[in-house]
């Protein structure tokens, strides 16, 4: 008698599935309501990552047709090497119900909960589904909750819906609905193969600023399902949360959380000691300024308030977001400067050199130097210090990861230390007027508060002791020296002057 499956009517709106010794009451009420409510035809994938749920999987599968029929939907079951006959029971169910679109797959080897979900999501994307409904095969799924979970995604009111059990508070379940339009923009394939996959993908959706809706469902637990080590699971969730936060703060880089693409411009740093405030303080009022790599024009706009005439150049300038009155769009890797250097009193190169390769760096400085004929502008340069303490500590433990911001920003091509930037500028024909260290932008990491200001003061003190170790950036003032052509011209003029004196 055990294992016998019988479906019998139960009133006008339900069925009873008997899978002895258990039975399930399955609703048939969702079809018409969903057809009237959903905007346009949608393809839905019901996906079950199955692990040793042979005693409950048939009941879960049998509840799906009445809830989603008529919507071009499909059910996918991927068995992760179960040892209790789960795969055989699903195959047998499919043979008994050919009217149900049911695909059954079996992992060639155990891939874990997260690894199995990745395969299911890839299947959904490959077959152009609009939404994927993630179910467990252990009986915690309540079919009567389908409609309120799926409709927000199908109606494009939410990008994901997470179900929580009502049991001493709202507890998360593996019962979720994802929009495939958003899921395809998430690097979920980089997530863990373990059970905390759901937490990592939730973090990714939040970093994407997706619309997430949480809905409570009645508590219901049947089978055992996936084995979970609670202590290890908690540690893994904590570690993933910490990594996501470190990535957000640009302290470390994790590709799986590289969701939001930053804008071209760096944010302004005017409220604390920074490369921006140090540069602004060095510029005389009412000066002519060329801001190379001006971005949105934050620094130049502040200087305009001091009566300066600022001209900005950058590779990515958008007129609608530009603060400067005068600017040009150029690529320093291949385009010449559109203005002669001797037209300006100051030339700003704030966080620019590191974005160029060595050849482009040399060419830019040569172009400025040769263009400074009638007047020698003062260059103000800031660049990351590759020998900063935390970079050294990272190397000590074998870490050298590029990221979205900071010293190891991914677009950075050629970096400097204090010694190498001095040598580079001298060889390029520049006289160095001043070199100082710049502390890290701590207020942008932890907020502009008493603690961050205290840490800035501590760091500034350490910079005075060992600038090469504690400086986050390098600040340089330099002026171009005369070129060989200029020296020849001056030598000829001096010779003529002296020669005329001898003739007299």
277-294 per-position pLDDT tens digit: 999 999 999 999 999 998
- Output phi, psi for 260, to 5 deg: -85, 125
Bridge partners for 383 per DSSP: 474
Looking at the chain, the domain(s) classified CATH 3.40.50.150 span 275-487
CATH number of 275-487: 3.40.50.150
Q: pTM of the entire structure?
A: 0.71
The pLDDT of residue 486 is above 90: no
Q: Write the DSSP assignment of 335-365 as a string of letters.
A: PPPSS-GGG-SEEEEET-GGGS-HHHHHHHH
Q: What is residue 229's predicted lDDT score, i.e. its pLDDT?
A: 75
Cα distance between residue 6 and residue 20, in whole Å = 9
For 43-77, the pLDDT digits (tens) are 889 999 998 888 888 888 887 754 444 566 789 99
**Interval 393-439: pLDDT, tens:** 989 988 888 877 889 888 899 999 999 999 999 999 999 999 999 99
Which stretches of 184-229 are DSSP H helices? 197-207
Question: In terms of pLDDT, which residue wins out, 492 or 462?
Answer: 462
* The 3-state secondary structure of 373-394, one letter per residue: CCCCCEEEEEEEECCCHHHHHH
Q: Where are the domain boundaries for CATH 3.90.550.10 in the chain?
A: 22-257
- Assign 3-class secondary structure to 289-300: EEEECCCCCHHH
Cα atoms in the 13 Å half-sphere on the side-chain side of 19:
17
The whole-chain average pLDDT of the chain stands at 83
Average pLDDT estimate for 228-234: 81
Instruction: Name the least confident of 99-103, 173-177, 205-209, 464-468.
Output: 173-177
Q: Which residues pair with 131 in a beta bridge?
A: 44, 179
Q: What was the pLDDT predicted at 172? A: 56
Mean pLDDT of 147-170: 77
Q: Report the C-alpha gap between 130 and 180 in whole angstroms.
A: 5
Lookup: tokens for 161: 């819906």
What is the reported pLDDT for 322? 75
Structure confidence at residue 8 as a pLDDT band (50, 70, 90): very low
The pLDDT score that the predictor gives to residue 28 is 43
pLDDT for residue 424: 96
Residues listed for the chain? 504
CA angle 148, 151, 156 (to 5 degrees): 140
pLDDT of 38 above 90: no
* Residue 21: cis peptide before it, omega within 30 degrees of 0: yes
* 91-117 confidence digits (pLDDT tens): 999 999 888 888 999 998 999 999 999
% the chain with pLDDT above 90: 46
Would you state the pLDDT for residue 415? 95
Separation of first and last alpha carbons in the chain: 131
Q: According to the model, what pLDDT value does residue 222 have?
A: 53
CATH superfamily placement of domain 22-257: Spore Coat Polysaccharide Biosynthesis Protein SpsA; Chain A (3.90.550.10)
pLDDT score recorded for residue 317: 64
Q: What is the pLDDT of residues 354-390, one digit of tens each?
A: 999 999 999 999 999 999 988 999 999 999 999 999 9
Q: DSSP strand E in 11-138: where? A: 14-19, 22-27, 44-50, 74-79, 102-106, 131-135
């Amino acid at each position: 008698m055990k294992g016998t499956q019988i479906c019998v009517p139960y009133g006008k709106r339900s069925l009873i599935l008997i899978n002895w010794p258990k039975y399930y009451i399955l609703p048939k009420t969702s079809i018409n309501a969903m057809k009237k409510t959903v905007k346009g035809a949608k393809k839905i994938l019901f996906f079950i990552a199955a692990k040793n749920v042979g005693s409950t999987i048939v009941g879960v599968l049998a509840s799906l047709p009445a809830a989603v029929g008529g919507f071009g939907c499909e059910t996918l079951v991927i068995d992760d090497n179960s040892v209790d006959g789960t795969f055989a029971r699903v195959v047998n169910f499919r043979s008994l119900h050919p009217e149900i679109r049911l695909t059954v797959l079996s992992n060639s080897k155990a891939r874990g909960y997260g690894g199995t979900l990745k395969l299911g999501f890839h299947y959904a994307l490959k077959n152009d589904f609009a939404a994927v409904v993630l179910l467990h095969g252990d009986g915690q799924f309540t079919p009567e909750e389908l409609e309120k979970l799926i409709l927000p995604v199908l109606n494009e009111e939410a990008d994901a819906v997470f179900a929580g059990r009502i049991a001493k508070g709202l507890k998360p379940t593996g019962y979720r609905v994802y929009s495939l339009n958003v899921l395809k923009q998430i690097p979920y394939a980089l997530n863990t193969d373990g059970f905390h996959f759901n937490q990592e993908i939730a973090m990714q959706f939040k970093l994407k600023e997706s619309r997430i809706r949480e809905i409570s469902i009645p508590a219901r637990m049947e089978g055992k399902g996936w084995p979970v080590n609670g202590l290890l699971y908690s540690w893994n969730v904590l570690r993933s949360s910490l990594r996501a936060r470190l990535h957000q703060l640009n302290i470390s880089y994790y590709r799986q959380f590289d969701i939001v693409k930053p804008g071209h411009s760096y944010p302004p740093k005017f409220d604390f000691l920074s490369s921006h405030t140090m540069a602004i303080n060095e510029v005389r009022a009412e000066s002519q300024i060329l801001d190379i790599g001006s971005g949105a024009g934050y620094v130049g706009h502040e200087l305009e308030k001091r009566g300066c005439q600022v001209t900005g150049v950058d590779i990515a300038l958008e007129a609608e977001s530009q603060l400067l009155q005068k600017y040009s769009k150029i690529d320093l890797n291949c385009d010449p400067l559109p203005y002669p250097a001797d037209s300006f009193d100051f030339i700003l190169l704030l966080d620019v050199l590191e974005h160029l390769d060595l050849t482009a760096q040399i060419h830019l400085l040569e172009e400025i130097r040769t263009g400074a004929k009638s007047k020698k502008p003062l260059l103000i340069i800031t660049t990351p210090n590759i020998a900063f303490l935390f970079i050294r500590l990272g190397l000590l433990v074998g870490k050298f990861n590029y990221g979205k911001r900071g010293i190891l920003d991914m677009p950075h091509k050629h970096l400097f230390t204090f010694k190498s930037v001095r040598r580079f500028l001298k060889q390029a024909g520049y006289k160095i007027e001043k070199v100082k260290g710049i502390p890290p932008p701590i207020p942008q990491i932890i907020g502009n508060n008493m603690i961050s200001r205290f840490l800035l003061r501590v760091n500034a003190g350490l910079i005075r002791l060992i600038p090469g170790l504690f400086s986050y950036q390098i600040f340089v003032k330099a002026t171009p020296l005369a070129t060989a052509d200029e020296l020849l011209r001056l030598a000829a003029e001096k010779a003529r002057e002296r020669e005329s004196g001898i003739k007299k």
